[in-house]
Amino acid sequence: MPLEILHGTNFATVDWIIVGLYLAISVMIGLEVRRYVNSMAAYVGAGRQVGTWLGIATMTGTEMGLITVMYNAEAGMKGGFAAFHIGVIAGLVTLIIGLSGFIVGPLRRHGVLTIPEYYERRYGRNVRIVGGIILAGAGILNMGLFLKYGSVFIVGITGMNPNGNAVATVMTVMLLLVLFYTVLGGMISVVITDYLQFVVLSFGIVVTTVLAINQLGWQEIVSTVESRMQLGGFDPTASPVFGPSYVMWMIAAGLVSCAIWPTAVARALAMKDERSVRRQYTFSSISFAVRAIIPMFWGVCTFVWIANHAPENIQQHFLPNQTGGINPELADRFYAMPIYLGQLLPSGLIGVITAAMVAAFMSTHDSYLLCWSSVITQDVIAPLKNDNLSVRARIAITRCGIVCIGIFVWWWGLFYPGGGGLWEYMVITGAIYFTGAGVLLVGGLYWSRASRRGAMAALLTGCSALLGLGPIRTRLTDLLQSSTGLELKLTEAHVGLFSVCLTIVVFVLVSLCCPDDPAEDPLTAADDKLAAAGEES
């Protein structure tokens, strides 16, 4: 059934004007801050002068992206209140990191701009280069669907025809805007716009949540989830959508999202000092939980609205069965939440909310594009050139990388065949990097016997998480079933947990069996050189 006849929307001309004004302000910021970019530290790290409260705002602006809203809403539509465990775990882990300073505190003390830069100080230049390549590759894959599903939201809430070229057109326009002000202003532009987006997002989130509760009523929301999903709608371990292994996988993902994922760690490395880093993480624990739970609740409300109040054709399209949540196999299921918001929010207000979501869309893209491009510049190209690159050359290469990554993300979003949930895709692509990176960081910072060979082996072993990608996992499952004759269900969580455990074992065994030669250069000279380069930039 064509989606264009399934819904209407309250989005009107005044709403387009509101969104257009916001986009114009963002572009003006990119132009204005260009004159302040005079060093790599300014371009990548905002001059390392971000205070606690601005750091909290910019971290929230980045991590509460439109893609975050989309994948968390999907989890709520499929799994009900049981999906909330993802946000609760993320908040608790972030709080623990803030109180203890685990990983992020020592990293800030080292004064590095990127995580692979720490690899060189601890393990050597070869580990930095390989780690940078893996990090950039995994990160670019991870954001490969951001542009597509952010555009799906905009198409759905504005009432455009999703069966034409609307998604591709929106993808192109939004990418050009993000590239424009990110290329010009770097991290300074990102931090300033993230603060603006934090304010708009906070307003939009509160208003939309209150309207959803007033429309449906808390009792109806809870009773509908209970009647259609039973215990699995509240207990993730009893849910057919999640399960015990999934919960364990989310604990690992919670640690990664705040303490190891480079776009979050970039905020820590841009803070004034370690004390500010710890305060930032402590207070940001609330936003790390809220950024997941609120969109999940929107997803639950979308499910309840479709089940009880939507026209019959919408119910039949998204809820073909009398039990369970939104059909997880439906290719266009991501239009459900934007369709609901398009009918929930009145004209005028829907423009403000859409501007907030566009803000979220842009805040994530600018930070991710800058992060991955700077990794390629600082941790792959510069070391290969023996750090004989001028500041001007580094900034130029980073800007070129931003454009190239943007083009790839546009292409990947259009042509990747998919498979599985959006959140599961993001965690498993991130695992290609973080399974090795987490081991290297924890081992390097807290275990004196961690060796260079162990680090290199762990990085390469961590790439086994690539097997969890939907199309690859499907083929692997078929291969295992045909060879064993058993009926197997291989999930992203199974592959991810296996990859993490295997990487830890390989790192420890290789480090013990192949320790660093005491006669080798302890990289003191490299440390001094990197520290001097950091001060100069």
CATH of the domain at 400: 1.20.1730.10
Note the Cα 477 to chain centre separation in Å: 27
Q: Round the average pLDDT of the chain to a whole number and report it.
A: 81
pLDDT number for residue 20: 87
Percent over 90 (pLDDT), the chain: 29
- Confidence bin at 67 (pLDDT 50/70/90): confident
Q: Which of 375, 381, 485, 491 is nearest to 437 (CA)?
A: 375
pLDDT number for residue 388: 81
Write down the pTM of the prediction: 0.82
- The residue-averaged pLDDT of 157-178 equals 85
What the block records as the tokens of 280 is 């930032």
- Confidence bin at 41 (pLDDT 50/70/90): very low
The owner of tokens 């692997």 is 476
pLDDT number for residue 2: 47
pLDDT number for residue 37: 45
Q: Which of 293, 244, 242, 265 is nearest to 430 (CA)?
A: 265
* Three-state secondary structure call for residue 271: strand
Q: Which residues pair with 271 in a beta bridge?
A: 50
Percent over 70 (pLDDT), the chain: 82
pLDDT number for residue 105: 83
Kindly report which listed range (107-111, 268-272, 355-359, 451-455) carries the lowest average pLDDT score: 268-272
- Confidence bin at 34 (pLDDT 50/70/90): low
Q: Which of 304, 303, 296, 16 is nearest to 160 (CA)?
A: 16
Contact 40, 394 (CB under 8 A): yes
- The residue-averaged pLDDT of 5-16 equals 78
Give residue 124's domain range. Answer: 3-536
Bigger pLDDT: 358 vs 120: 120
Instruction: Look at residue 427 and tell me whether its pLDDT is greater than 80.
Output: yes
- The residue-averaged pLDDT of 4-28 equals 77
pLDDT number for residue 38: 45
Q: Which residues pair with 50 in a beta bridge?
A: 271
- CA distance readout (Å), 463 to 141, 452, 466, 478, 495: 13, 17, 6, 21, 11
Greatest mean pLDDT among 53-57, 416-420, 476-480, 493-497:
493-497
Which residues does 370 contact at the CB level (< 8 Å), separation at least 6? 44, 182, 186, 187, 190, 398, 402
Which residues does 167 contact at the CB level (< 8 Å), separation at least 6? 148, 151, 152, 155
pLDDT number for residue 259: 76
CA-CA distance, 114 to 374, in Å (whole number)? 8
- The residue-averaged pLDDT of 384-400 equals 83
CA-CA distance, 167 to 170, in Å (whole number)? 5
pLDDT one-digit tens code per residue, 469-508: 888 888 888 887 788 777 777 888 888 899 999 999 999 9
pLDDT number for residue 42: 42
- The residue-averaged pLDDT of 37-60 equals 46
What the block records as the tokens of 358 is 């566009």
Greatest mean pLDDT among 30-44, 195-209, 423-437:
423-437
- Confidence bin at 522 (pLDDT 50/70/90): very low
Contact 506, 458 (CB under 8 A): yes
Note the Cα 117 to chain centre separation in Å: 22
Instruction: Look at residue 517 and tell me whether its pLDDT is greater than 60.
Output: yes
pLDDT number for residue 314: 83
Q: What is the DSSP string of 66-97?
A: HHHHHHHHHHHHHHGGGGHHHHHHHHHHHHHH
Domain tally, the chain: 1
CA-CA distance, 480 to 478, in Å (whole number)? 6
pLDDT one-digit tens code per residue, 439-452: 999 999 999 899 99
Bigger pLDDT: 257 vs 426: 426
pLDDT number for residue 44: 43
> Percent helix, strand and coil across the chain, each rounded to 5?
80, 0, 20
Q: Which residues pair with 65 in a beta bridge?
A: none
Q: Which of 154, 201, 136 is nearest to 459 (CA)?
A: 136
- The residue-averaged pLDDT of 57-75 equals 73
pLDDT number for residue 187: 47
**Within a 10 A sphere around the Cβ of 185, how many other Cβ atoms?**
27
Contact 95, 316 (CB under 8 A): no
pLDDT one-digit tens code per residue, 298-348: 999 999 999 998 888 888 888 877 677 787 777 788 899 998 998 888 988
- CA distance readout (Å), 180 to 18, 54, 164, 366, 481: 20, 23, 26, 10, 49
Instruction: Look at residue 164 and tell me whether its pLDDT is greater than 80.
Output: no
Instruction: Look at residue 116 and tell me whether its pLDDT is greater than 80.
Output: yes
**Within a 10 A sphere around the Cβ of 210, how many other Cβ atoms?**
10
Residue 220 exposed, middle or buried by CB count within 10 Å (0-12, 13-18, 19+)? middle
CA-CA distance, 146 to 226, in Å (whole number)? 32
pLDDT number for residue 195: 61
Residue 76 exposed, middle or buried by CB count within 10 Å (0-12, 13-18, 19+)? buried
Instruction: Look at residue 192 and tell me whether its pLDDT is greater than 50.
Output: yes
